[in-house]
Chain A
Amino acid sequence: MKQEAHIGKFVGRPMERVEDAPLLAGQALFCDSLPTRPGVLHAAILRSPHAQAEILSIDTAEALRQPGVVAVLTGKEIKEDSDPFLIVLRKPMDQWSLAIDRVRFVGESVAVVVAKDRYVAEDALDYIKVAYKPLPAVIDAREAAKEGAPLVHPACGSNVVSERHFSYGDPDKAFAEADKVVELTIDYPRNSQTPLEGYVVMADYRQEDKVYDVVSNFQGPFTVHPVMSKALRVKGPQLRMRSPAYSGGGFGIKQAMFPYVVLMCIASKRVGRPVKWVEDRLEHLTAAIAAPNRVIRARAACKKDGKVTAFRFEQLDDYGAYLRPPMPGPLYRQHGIMTGGYDVKNMTITNRLVMTNKTPSGMVRGFGGPQIYYGLERLMQRVAVELGLDPLDVIRKNLIPAGSFPYRACAGALVESGDYQTAVAMAIRDGKLDELKARREKARAEGRLYGIGYAVVVEPAQSNMGYLSTINTVEERRKAGPKGGNVAYATVAVDPLGGVSVTADSLPQGQGHATVLSQVVADELGIDAADIVCNMERDTQRDPWSIATGNYSSRFSSATAVSALHAARKVRAKMARIAAHVLGVPAERIGFAEGKVFCIEDPEKSLRFSRVAGTAHWSPSELPPGMEPGMTEIGVWSAPEIEPPNDADQINTSLTYGFVFDICGLEVDRDTGKIRIDRYITTHDSGVLLNPLLANGQIYGGFGWGVGAALSEQFVYGEDGSFLSGTFSDYLCPTACEVPEPQILHMETPSPLTPLGAKGIGEGSVMSTPVCIANAFADATGIKDVKLPLNPWKVAALIQGEEPPRPKGQAAPARARTSGKGLQGEGSAFVPATPEQVWATLINPEKLAQVIPGCSKLEAVGPNSYRAELSLGVGAVRGRFEARITLSNLKAPKSGVISGGLQGPLGSSEGVGNITLEAVSGGTQLNYDYGFDISGKVAAVGGRMLDGTARVIMKQFFERLASLTEGRAVAAAAPPPASWWKRLLKALGIAR
């Protein structure tokens, strides 16, 4: 439904992007390719292998001795040169750019090496010796919220650092009068859209004017600029933040690089030279940020006919180890619209914010929306199931009625426009729901698992900068002063020859903002969009910016594009006055088209666009009286409707509200558990589409990530807090084989609150897709508790029941990736010597040193307890470890227990093994079992290989034991008959 009224010569048309040619030619400069000042040094960061530990000491001496290393910084230097980051809550939970005294998540920055190049810097990390005292960690959000859980920030006294209750309307009455209360608890997993380009920071401290000059791919919002400058103890202008025009994706995540900005600033100050740091993939997955995982207990008070009269939401949002600003945004950003697309007047919300020993949470596309809609739309599906109604009927019964816009939601959102019924009807008709239902009937008749799901989302855009103050009580808010608005800036300049250039504060990361700005400005000025140059770089020392500056909350089309419109209108007004002055007609009668400025009534009376612009540059004296010379205008825009929260805790959390309605048909393979998305229809009303090509790009991209979130993406932690998703073969991003092409339908109900009529379009699909797929899955299988991601092994377990136990005698493969308990195994070996001889080898330190694979040094530190140095490898990574080994429960020559731990730059491990010796004919049969936990880099990248590696190491251990006991070559030892498992390992090349 394209409304011609909104189409200009350029605006509203699917114009190809002006950004693309340099990208396609490989000439676009991403941050890592930007020039650096001569003398630049490179940084590498040492990270914690522990989820929670005290730092006892850090010894950097050996690292500093490495050739090419210039400096090593630890928490001590950071404490001297900076202050902790400001946080949203007044709570004793300091965070610095390097850990001070304690680490709280695996991957936390502990030290930084600055060296002549990155290879040298990374190598030197191995020589930093950190002594940790591991402490119990808490990983699960529910566990962390319990009394007596290990505390992430002991000074807070609880891991639940904020709890607020909200009530709107009369929920108690509605629940008391309900025909039925439907209840559901959901667990939304940790994930992230993980941009393909990681963080890049170049910091250059200039002693002469005490300015930290930073070039980075930071994406804003600049609410964290004061956070950084305060941490660095400088005034705002002394922290110059620059960013390039091209960035390799952001999705919110490049907001959270600010601790690294501060870290590199301090490093640069310390070494007196520029310092550059480029994050690698392991660092990004481990330590950048994740969307908060959330537990929602959701309840709906329903009438028999499916009308919902009230909601209760209890949310427990997990922020990981630190509350980085602007956290806990995801819990409040959509507070005003927690009722979604439904006309429900009564609601309670309980928001609890919990800390755990995981990577801090942060901004990720959707910003709480995927979580909220997972709860709300799963609940609506359950309402239908439990009342025996069609889910679509339940949706339609509860949608905000057409004609009731602007609609004030009970929690405060002012939903300015829409027609949800028409959008849903369009989806049913143009998306051919009938056909989809027929496919379901047919599949089911054939015994296949096929389901249809729906999802309704109200897509908020342009956040009210005051939404986070809803976390504070009314009294606290009064004290702090009101916060609201969202200020956007753009400039439009016309040079003496009529060339037009535009700058704007949106810090794009692939959305095509330059293209849309060209379109908007071209239409205003009557010139060709292709003739406009947009410079999307940002420089806080030169460009206008506000705390709202940045690329987030889908603010571009409703905020930045409008500020560009304003700037262009100012230029137009000025040029019209100049032309009117010259042509002798009233300024209101001046038109702009085809590069001409003319009198509307008499187009013959015209001037070239360039001529009019030139006047303002060349001959100010010819300007109309009182007019300022020059032709550069700044456009500023903040909509008045985004006010601070009121005393009833109602808040209009965003300026615009679009509508999304999705339908998904999918099939679940009964044998493999694999989900095949058969058809997907996504309907959007995002107001006026400024560029339909780019609008669809946002939908396709958001859908693509939604499919990943639904089917494969999750940050997995072991129970001990080890991080197990450190590579792209553990964190599974969907490829072209997993993401089908959705059918997109559009409706355009303009927003009356933005001059261009546009709403946001960047996030709706990431909110709707995961839950729509889950609802289809629930429809296919009848399962109520649907936990994402629906990867095949999980689905298979759900639809087929647990696997039958393994045949006896076959060791279970270690489930390191899922249980996080580390590795377990058992086995046996044969040594052609008596148990007494074997025993003698085991308790002899010199021999033990030779028996342990990779051991270069072993010294006794007490009776039967040793300190050793080992070198071990998993897959391609090999590292040095320090080991503690204790032999206990020794019953010579029958049995004993070996326990201990490993510690090294690649990670750490704690474990225990039992060994028994039994005399058999011709020698000794050794039986062993072991179990150990692994954390750090090895766990993060090597999950798939650990089991095999452990077995290889065990095998080597016993081969050497046999060889040393007998004094014979290893190969000569007669092995017991190989089990099927060993034969398999051999066949796979894992064992010899």
Chain B
Amino acid sequence: MPQVTSDGRTLINFILNGKPASGQAEPRMLLSDFLRQVAGLTEVHVGCEHGICGACTLRIDGEPARSCLTFAVQIEGRRVDTVQSLLGPRGELNDLQAAFRKHHSLQCGYCTTGILMSATAFLEKNPNPGEEEIRDMLSGHICRCTGYVGMVRAIKEVVASRSAKSKVPA
């Protein structure tokens, strides 16, 4: 049963990037606002608040989701992963993030955290996509700075290196 405070807010318990987290939100509070304003996350960016731009994308129980189209109360008991979940134990960038840097896949970087979440989930499901599939996945996001070239290259490179690694027996 969700706990409701006297001012109408609900206590939400969830798993944030692998660790238990909680916070209070009114029923109408958007998940994007909740994570930014209550949970203090800086990586959730808001670009349109109507589900088109993809900047606010994160993963809920592994599935990419628009946090601007999700209410905070909907994540009760669920797992939420942001771009922090990609970092290594000492905060190192993972291979996808590093490839984004190498191929200048970001300029302002406002769209990037959302794109990394979609791309991560996509590559888990589809480890060997062709360029067309990669572009199709990226089309769920708007980037106003880069023309998408660097992102496509970075993802292709990660696909190649991950599949090379998976072929070499450890």
Chain B interfacial residues counted at CB < 8 A: 55
Whether A281 and B104, one on each chain, are in contact in the complex, defined by CB atoms closer than 8 angstroms, is no
Whether A704 and B148, one on each chain, are in contact in the complex, defined by CB atoms closer than 8 angstroms, is yes
Whether A728 and B50, one on each chain, are in contact in the complex, defined by CB atoms closer than 8 angstroms, is yes
B15 at the interface (CB under 8 A from A): no
Binary contact track A7-49/B, C-beta < 8 Å → 1, others 0: 0000000001101110111111110110000000000000000
Binary contact track B118-148/A, C-beta < 8 Å → 1, others 0: 0000000000000000111011111111111
State which of A280, A701, A729, A736 has its C-beta within 8 Å of the C-beta of B52. A729
Contacts of B26 in A (CB 8 A): 119
A925 at the interface (CB under 8 A from B): no
Contacts of B134 in A (CB 8 A): 736
DSSP majority for the A interface?
A: loop
Whether A23 and B147, one on each chain, are in contact in the complex, defined by CB atoms closer than 8 angstroms, is no
Whether A193 and B144, one on each chain, are in contact in the complex, defined by CB atoms closer than 8 angstroms, is yes
Whether A23 and B112, one on each chain, are in contact in the complex, defined by CB atoms closer than 8 angstroms, is yes
**Also in contact, A24 and B36, with CB within 8 A (given A247-B108, A510-B109):** no
B74 at the interface (CB under 8 A from A): no
Q: Which residue of A lies closest to B103 (CB)?
A: A693
Q: Looking at the assembled complex, report how far the CB atom of B30 sits from the nearest CB atom of chain A, in whole angstroms.
A: 9
Binary contact track B55-78/A, C-beta < 8 Å → 1, others 0: 100000000000000000000000
Whether B111 and A26, one on each chain, are in contact in the complex, defined by CB atoms closer than 8 angstroms, is no
Whether B108 and A280, one on each chain, are in contact in the complex, defined by CB atoms closer than 8 angstroms, is no
Whether B107 and A281, one on each chain, are in contact in the complex, defined by CB atoms closer than 8 angstroms, is no
State which of A195, A728, A737 has its C-beta within 8 Å of the C-beta of B108. A195
**Also in contact, A281 and B49, with CB within 8 A (given A23-B112, A193-B144, A693-B104):** yes
Q: Looking at the assembled complex, report how far the CB atom of A171 sits from the nearest CB atom of chain B, in whole angstroms.
A: 39
Q: Which residue of A lies closest to B106 (CB)?
A: A23
A629 at the interface (CB under 8 A from B): no
Q: Which residue of B lies closest to A693 (CB)?
A: B104
State which of A16, A28, A119, A727 has its C-beta within 8 Å of the C-beta of B48. A727
Contacts of A702 in B (CB 8 A): 147
Whether B91 and A25, one on each chain, are in contact in the complex, defined by CB atoms closer than 8 angstroms, is yes
A727 to B48, CA, bound (A): 8
Q: Which residue of B lies closest to A738 (CB)?
A: B139
State which of A196, A696, A735, A741 has its C-beta within 8 Å of the C-beta of B110. A196
Contacts of A633 in B (CB 8 A): none
Q: Which residue of A lies closest to B96 (CB)?
A: A24
Q: How many A-B residue pairs have CB under 8 A?
A: 175
Contacts of B111 in A (CB 8 A): 196
B39 at the interface (CB under 8 A from A): no
Contacts of B87 in A (CB 8 A): 25
Contacts of B140 in A (CB 8 A): 735
Q: Looking at the assembled complex, report how far the CB atom of B50 sits from the nearest CB atom of chain A, in whole angstroms.
A: 5
A21 to B88, CA, bound (A): 13
Contacts of A30 in B (CB 8 A): 42, 45, 110
Contacts of A510 in B (CB 8 A): 106-110, 145
Contacts of B146 in A (CB 8 A): 697, 700-701, 704
**Also in contact, A16 and B102, with CB within 8 A (given A196-B55, A246-B108):** yes
**Also in contact, A728 and B52, with CB within 8 A (given A16-B101, A197-B45, A696-B104):** yes
Whether A735 and B147, one on each chain, are in contact in the complex, defined by CB atoms closer than 8 angstroms, is no
Contacts of B142 in A (CB 8 A): 196, 728, 733, 735
Whether B152 and A697, one on each chain, are in contact in the complex, defined by CB atoms closer than 8 angstroms, is no
Contacts of B106 in A (CB 8 A): 20, 23-24, 510
Most buried by A among B43, B48, B83: B48
Taking beta carbons and an 8 Å cutoff, which residues of A are in contact with B? 16-17, 19-21, 23-30, 32-33, 119, 193-197, 246-251, 280-281, 509-512, 693-694, 696-697, 700-705, 707, 727-729, 733, 735-737, 739, 741-742, 941
A sample of 6 inter-chain contacts (CB < 8 A) reads: A26-B84, A28-B42, A509-B107, A733-B144, A736-B136, A741-B152
* Extra inter-chain contacts (15) besides given A701-B146, A705-B147, CB under 8 Å: A16-B104, A23-B106, A23-B109, A24-B93, A26-B42, A32-B36, A119-B29, A196-B144, A246-B108, A697-B146, A700-B146, A700-B150, A701-B107, A735-B138, A737-B135
